[in-house]
Amino acid sequence: MSEASSTGAALEEPRPHRRVDADLAPPTARSGLLGVFQNRYLLRLLVRREISARYSGSFLGLLWSYINPLSQFLIYYFILGKLLDRGTENFAVHVFSALIVVHFFIETFNAGTRSIVRNKSLVRKMALPREMFPVASMLVSLYHVAPQVVILFVVCLFYGWVPDPMVPVALALALGIIMLLATALALLFSVANVYFRDFASVVSILTNFVRFGVPMIYPYAVVEERFGSFAQYYMLNPLAEAVLLVQRAFWVGTTQDPSATAATELPDHLFTRGLAMVGVSLVVLVIAQLVFTRLENKIPERLN
Amino acid sequence: MSYPADTSIVVDQATKSFTLRYHRTFKQVTVAMLKGHQVSDTFQAVDDVSFTVEQGESVGLMGLNGSGKSTLLKMINGVMKPDSGRVLTRGRIAGLIATGAGFHPQLTGRENVYLNAAVLGMTERETARKFDDIVEFADIGRHLDSPVGNYSSGQFARLGFAVAVHVDSDIFLADEVLAVGDKPFKKKCLERMQEIRDSGRTLLYVSHAASSVRKMCDRVIVLESGKVGYDGEVGPGIKYLKYDAGTDEEEQDEELGADI
């Protein structure tokens, strides 16, 4: 329009012509979960930021990730195993293996829901795929699962547990279910939380149900015994499935007669169900992404 | 509609409206509705704005507070999408719209440089290559390895600015510039922005300081309550805003600090 000539000071030397090869395109970030994985470097840095920030200023640092679950296990061991002496065989291991799954889910759900609001300084100013933040929350939680699995592994060895080939399969299925499902819920609730901060409170109530909706502080056999045919609806909960898979991987192997335990304490077709639940979680994730895409346009202006 | 190959920014009838919420909680909304008060209202922050900028142009975006400059900049930056109309850009965008955005107070300056650079779209290798330049520009000495939470606001801004100006972008957006920082640093920043402009990058500079706009820009766009009030040469643009009346350049240089 107007190449200025009259105004300005004595800086009229011609500027180099810069040719830009890119196409004219909308400047908004390529969004969606695919956009997140195209920018893995930033995702990695965000995850690392969360992890190192959690233990910053602490002397023991990452060691806390081991001390915490270990102390929890010891509490269960003495209270549930020695003091109450109820439930099933090696009840402490039963509870602890379930707890790993439940913790992973709850942490992702809680932190993921708050993730966009918490990173508002970034979200309001930079064109990033906003799915980045719930996904990063999930990965941070996943990172803290590892030490817990290590503790569980060592504890199980003390109980005389011998790993079988299905252990990694069961663990992978369980983690897969939680990763997909928790990310889906984190996506949904993170954007909802931008609109109304009430959702963070809703999530903490929901997570209370999670603790008791899975066979953690009671064995699955009780559900079958009391609920009868209703147990099949109980098993529609992907979290219950994931918990049972981890118990199959670790707890079952610590009992006197693993095959008998598996027959009485686990539902039939555990692995087939697990695979189906991965599929279900994937569908939920796709739905969550669609909803997220619809709602995210208003995020920058609703964050204040 | 197609644009010539050296078009850098296209803003085509872009409109963005915001919702004003007078009452936020359930109780407030219910009471207001019972009393027949208005619960929400919308206003047009950017109203049917159109212009194109060529690659290498240096445009000053001016206007009074609340005239829609920042909203427009956010749409060009890609943070917001226009409600209607469209915004197109060519090439990589960087700028001082977000200096220090995403700095984590518990991480060290060094860690934050990497994170901030990644947020601005730099790869790991690119950051490593420019790291020494960034640190030299920020000039915060030993503080680089202490958490940025302990930084003074000036140091914080320096580091953010240093990262932003080292992004190899085709379009450079400058908002909130020079609001903090001491005089030598401000001078360094202005020089750096001139370098950016002289390298043929498109510069969009939001400022209230008439003198620095005069120095930096070869075109001025003035926004008035969301609409383009003036688009053309710098001198008349500043007159249009009546920013030149009564003050001489000397005084305006002092105003620089009061940017935004």
pLDDT digits (tens, 9 = 90+) for B47-89: 999 999 999 899 999 988 888 888 899 899 888 889 999 999 9
Q: What is the mean pLDDT of residues A209-238?
A: 88
User: What's residue A241's pLDDT?
Assistant: 94
User: What's residue B247's pLDDT?
Assistant: 52
Distance of CA B69 to the CA centre of its chain: 9
Q: Return the residue in B57, B87, B107, B119 with the most chain A beta carbons within 10 A, the one to mutate for interface testing.
A: B119
Of A21, A28, A128, the CB nearest to B119: A128
pLDDT in tens, B236-254: 888 888 776 655 544 445 4
pLDDT in tens, A2-46: 344 444 444 455 677 777 778 888 888 777 888 888 889 999 999
Residues of chain B numbered 94-123 and touching chain A (CB < 8 Å) = 97-98, 101-102, 104, 106-107, 111, 114-115, 118-120, 123
Q: Return the residue in B21, B83, B89, B120 with the most chain A beta carbons within 10 A, the one to mutate for interface testing.
A: B89
Distance of CA B91 to the CA centre of its chain: 17
Distance CA A152, CA A155 (A): 5
Cβ pair A8:B77 closer than 8 A: no
Rounded to a whole number of angstroms, the distance from the CA of A40 to the nearest CA of chain B is 10
In percent, the amount of chain B with pLDDT more than 70 equals 88
Residues from chain B that touch A49, judged by Cβ atoms under 8 A, are 104, 107, 111, 115
Rounded to a whole number of angstroms, the distance from the CA of A295 to the nearest CA of chain B is 12
Of A21, A23, A28, the CB nearest to B81: A28
CB B14 within 8 A of CB B59: no
Cβ pair A119:B102 closer than 8 A: yes
pLDDT in tens, A99-116: 999 999 999 999 999 999
Lookup: tokens for B241: 């805003």
Q: What is the mean pLDDT of residues B190-214?
A: 87
Cβ pair A20:B115 closer than 8 A: no
Cβ pair B102:A45 closer than 8 A: no
Of A41, A53, A127, the CB nearest to B77: A127
pLDDT in tens, A101-158: 999 999 999 999 999 998 888 888 888 889 999 999 999 999 999 989 998 999 999 9
b/e burial code for range A228-258 (CB count within 10 A of at least 16 → b): eeebeebbeebbbbbbbbbbbbbbbbbbeeb
Tell me: pLDDT of B144 over 70.
Answer: yes
CB B214 within 8 A of CB B237: no
Q: Return the residue in B8, B58, B84, B104 with the most chain A beta carbons within 10 A, the one to mutate for interface testing.
A: B104
Residues from chain B that touch A41, judged by Cβ atoms under 8 A, are 118, 123-124
Cβ pair A300:B80 closer than 8 A: yes
Q: Which comes out higher in pLDDT, residue B103 or B145?
A: B145
Distance CA B70, CA B80 (A): 11
Cβ pair B170:A22 closer than 8 A: yes
A59: DSSP letter: S
Please tell me the total number of residues recorded for chain A in this structure. Answer: 304
Residue B21, Cβ neighbours under 10 Å: how many?
Answer: 12
**CA distance readout (Å), A200 to A87, A129, A189, A194, A212:** 34, 21, 8, 10, 20
Residues of chain B numbered 21-50 and touching chain A (CB < 8 Å) = none
Lookup: tokens for B174: 């400058």
Tell me: pLDDT of B180 over 80.
Answer: no
Q: The pTM is what?
A: 0.86
Q: Which residue is it, tokens 């509705």? A: B33
Q: Catalogue the E-assigned strands of chain B.
A: 7-21, 40-54, 58-63, 84-90, 93-95, 171-174, 202-206, 219-224, 227-232
B23: DSSP letter: -
A292 Cβ contact partners less than 8 Å away, ≥ 6 residues apart: A130, A131, A187, A188, A191
Query: Which range, A28-37, B123-132, B143-152, has the best average confidence (pLDDT)?
Result: B123-132
Question: What is the band of A73 on the pLDDT scale with cuts at 50, 70, 90?
Answer: confident
Cβ pair A41:B104 closer than 8 A: no
Question: What is the band of A83 on the pLDDT scale with cuts at 50, 70, 90?
Answer: confident
The whole-chain average pLDDT of chain A stands at 86
